[in-house]
Each structure stands twice: as C-alpha cells, then as structure tokens.
Amino acid sequence: MTSTPDFSRYRAIIDDFPAFEAALARPLPLCVWANPLKISPAEIEALFRDHGIAFEPRQWRPGTYLLDPALSPGTRFEYAAGLYHVQEEVSLLPVELMAPLPGERILDTCAAPGNKSAQIAVAMQNRGTLLANDRDYRRMRAVSRVLDRLGIYNTSLICHDAANLPSPMGSFDRILADVPCSCEGTSRKNPRVGAASDQEVLRMSRIQRAILKRAMDMCRPGGIIAYSTCTYAPEENEAVVDACLRDPETGNFTLLPARIEGFHSAPGLVEWQGETYDPTLSRTMRVYPHHNDSGGFFVALMQKEASP
C-alpha cells in the first residue's frame, strides 16, 4: 500500500485534516470536457450512453464530466476526433475564473502541455488571438498536438522565458500565469510527489514572482490576470501575490473574488508563520482534495486599474 505524503505543515490551515489525508489515498477521478467547437453537451452525453460509458456531469461547469478512472479515454475515437478533452477538474478553475471572451488578445505564459491554452481558445470560440508561450520548445510539441486535435486555429506558439517576455509582444486583455511550482497538489495522480522542501519552495517562489511581475507589466489597463499553482505552499501562493501587489513597479491591481458557484473552495490566507499579507488575499481561492474529490490548487484573480 502506498503511503500518503506528509503534509502536516498545513494541518492548521486545512479545515478537516483527516478527510484531507483520506482523499489523498484515493484514486483521482477522470475528468473530460466536451469540445463545443465540434459537439454539444447533449450530443456527447448521447455518445456516452450509446457506448455504455457511465458519466457524472459537473454542475458547476456544463459539458464537463467525471468518468470511470479505469477507462482509457485517449484510445477512443471521440478523443481522436477532438470531441472531448481530458483535463483534471481542478485544472479548469483558473481559465474559468479568467473568463476569456471572443475577440480578445490573451497570453498563456506557461502553456505546456496545452490543456489550459486549449480551454482558453475554445472559450474564445476561435476568435481573437491567443499566444501560448513556454520556454521549452520540446514541450510545445504537445501543445501543438492538443490544439490541432481540438480544431483550434486562433493560437500562436512562442518560446520565451516567461519572466523575460519581450516588450514588442505588446499588451493583453487577459493573461494566464499558471506558473511552475512544487506540485504538492498533484500527489493523487503522481505518488512520487511529496511535501516540498524549504529550499524548493524558496527557489520556486523566486521564479513565480518574476513571472507574475512580468505578466502584470504586460496587462492592459482594465485587464485580468489569473495566477495559479497546483501547490499548497503559501510561500508560492499568497506570499507571491502579496509581494507583487506591493511592488511599486507593477502598477495598481485589485484582487477580485475567486469563487465559483457550486465548487467548494477555501479563502486564501492573510497570514502564515508570522507573515501578514494584504487582507484582500482572502479573496483568492484554495482548493483541497477532500472538498471536491480533486487535486489541490490555488488561484488569484486580479484586475489592473483602468486608465482615467
């Protein structure tokens, strides 16, 4: 039997720690979403029924379903035809909160392997411009395959260090900064993941601050940024957002409430181990596995002050 990771450093901030640990010991549900560029929720549900596939609709996001974890969705014709996409449920949150619109100019700073880029482009209905960036050109091959399979054509792939994106790229209506992190929240699908060391958390937080600060520089007045991680560490979550909000070089941003009706989440922290954060950090979203039978996640939604 595989033991669960030791996340006891978070015991004081998790409402039901035994339930949290119990959730970590269970298999992660399989989540897919219907691709509205090719098929409607009613049509994909009819296909599932015709092929004897049991499905559980997720009420908070129409067209999203939990399937039997034993199913091999990537081997089915529906997948190959781009009728649905496989994406962990909790991974859908930042783009859902960012609410992309057709015709906008949007940046995904750390796009590989392409799930959130695809989600953004589909929400844009293939209208407008999405720049999907990742520093590793080899990982961008996966992004290209995802977009091609789903029938997405409004997205350009670029390769830059997200902390040093070139100024000639211009500004954006919405930016997703789903940054590299210590990945503690992914332990249900990757048993090798455990609690991050102090050194790892510190290293990641430096990278995250640099990426978020650059995103804030490239956001248009009135624009929206979604900052997200799949870790529990406050040093990579609230502390990063707090530091960037306080940075005089980033301009004026307001944290918007990161809440989704029908999806259980906890408010962000306003203090951690003697450090005090801006009180509006409570508007950020923390997701623990026992709340929705999911992975762990953090999302902050911020808006740049509009020009006078």
Query: Per-residue pLDDT tens for 270-295?
Result: 999 999 999 999 999 999 999 999 99
The predicted structure's pLDDT at residue 69: 83
CATH of the domain at 288: 3.40.50.150
Residue 84 phi/psi, 5-degree rounding, is -140, 165
Strands (E), 47-154: 55-57, 64-67, 84-86, 105-108, 129-133
Is 216 a domain residue?
yes
Residue 148: inside a domain, yes or no? Answer: yes
Domain that holds residue 109: 90-304
Taking 70 as the threshold, does the pLDDT of residue 1 lie above it? no
Summarised one tens digit per residue, pLDDT across range 189-234 is: 887 787 888 899 999 999 999 999 999 999 999 999 999 999 999 9
Beta 275-276 vs 285-287: how paired, if at all?
A: unpaired
Query: Annotation-wise, does 116 bind a ligand?
Result: yes
Measured distance CA(246)–CA(116) in Å, rounded: 28
Known binder of ligand: residue 181? Answer: no
160 belongs to a structural domain: yes
Give residue-wise pLDDT tens across range 131-187. 999 999 899 999 999 999 999 999 999 999 999 999 999 999 999 999 999 999 999
Domain total in the chain: 1
Q: Does a structural domain hold residue 98? A: yes
Flag whether 104 is in a domain. Answer: yes
* Secondary structure E strands in 44-185: 55-57, 64-67, 84-86, 105-108, 129-133, 155-158, 172-178
Does the pLDDT of residue 43 top 90, yes or no?
A: yes
The residue that leads in pLDDT, 88 or 251, is 88
Annotate 163-190 with DSSP letters as a single string. Answer: GG--GGG--EEEEEEE-----GGGTTT-
How do residues 55-107 score in pLDDT, each as one tens digit? Answer: 999 999 999 999 988 888 888 999 999 999 999 999 999 999 999 999 999 99
The answer to whether position 31 is within a domain reads no
pLDDT tens per residue across span 12-36: 999 999 999 999 999 999 999 999 9
Which amino acids are annotated catalytic?
A: 230
Q: What gap in Å lies between CA 30 and CA 86, rounded to an integer?
A: 8
Is 16 assigned a ligand-binding role in the annotation?
no
Is 248 annotated in some ligand binding site? no
Q: Is 161 annotated as a binding residue?
A: yes
Per-residue confidence (pLDDT) for residue 190, from 0 to 100: 83
Element (DSSP H or E) covering residue 304: strand 297-304
Burial of 75: CB neighbours in 10 Å, binned 0-12, 13-18, 19+: exposed
Output the pLDDT for position 257.
98
Contact 19, 11 (CB under 8 A): no
Average pLDDT over residues 37-62: 96
Is 177 annotated in a binding site? The answer is no
* 191 annotated ligand binder: no
Q: How confident is the model at residue 236, as a pLDDT?
A: 98
Q: Is 113 annotated as a binding residue?
A: yes
Predicted pLDDT of residue 167? 93
**Partners of 130 in beta bridges:** 106, 155
Within a domain: 140 = yes
Work out the angle between the directed axes of helices 198-218 and 238-246 (0-180°, nearest 10): 40
In this predicted structure, what is the pLDDT of residue 46?
97
Q: Is 115 annotated as a binding residue?
A: yes
Whether 3 maps to a domain, the answer reads: no
pLDDT at 308: 66
Confidence of residue 2 (pLDDT cuts 50, 70, 90): low
Strands 285-287 and 266-267: antiparallel
